[in-house]
Amino acid sequence: MRLQTCRRHPSAGRFLVTCSGCTQELYDIEQANRARAEAERAAKVRAALGLRDAKVRPEMGETATRVSRWSVRELDDSFARVGGTVTAQQVQRTLPHGETYTVVEVTLVANVSGVGRVEAFTDWDPADETHGFALPVIRALAA
Ligand SMILES: [Zn+2]
């Protein structure tokens, strides 16, 4: 068998079938394109849901298709834009010093054209933020 040398990556050394330099370069192109497509998808989702910031915040539990809204008011703004199905569940949160408290996590699942299923969510304290009961997003709560 004849060993070859890549004209593009001569420093990768001689190889039998595939140049490791070419393999790495193809992988890098795929990764860059995937990252760009993911960023475009995230920007599209966030614009559709009414967020001004296109940057995904993983530390807030966000992904390209799952966004955190500041309050039930902002979630209602997303609901007005894209509609969807609304659910709520009680969750316990723990403060840094260990104290726990209960809130209602409200989740909106909607369909964004060209993207598909997306989620927006927020914490709501009904006893404190009583205005939430009058909002369409809360009136639409699914059983
Ligand atoms: Zn090569």
C-alpha 85/C-alpha 137 separation (Å) is 9
Q: What does pLDDT average to over the chain?
A: 94
Tell how far the Cα of 71 is from the centroid of ligand 1, in angstroms.
52
What pairing do the DSSP bridges indicate for beta strands 14-15 and 4-5? antiparallel
Which tokens sit at 110? 């909607």
Closest CA to 83 of 142, 138, 143, 137: 137
User: What is this structure's pTM?
Assistant: 0.81
Distance CA 25, CA 112 (A): 34
Domain ranges of the chain: 11-139
d(CA 7, ligand 1 centre) in Å = 7
pLDDT at 93: 87
Structure confidence by residue, pLDDT tens digits, 67-90: 999 999 999 999 999 999 999 999
Dmax (CA) for the chain in angstroms is: 78
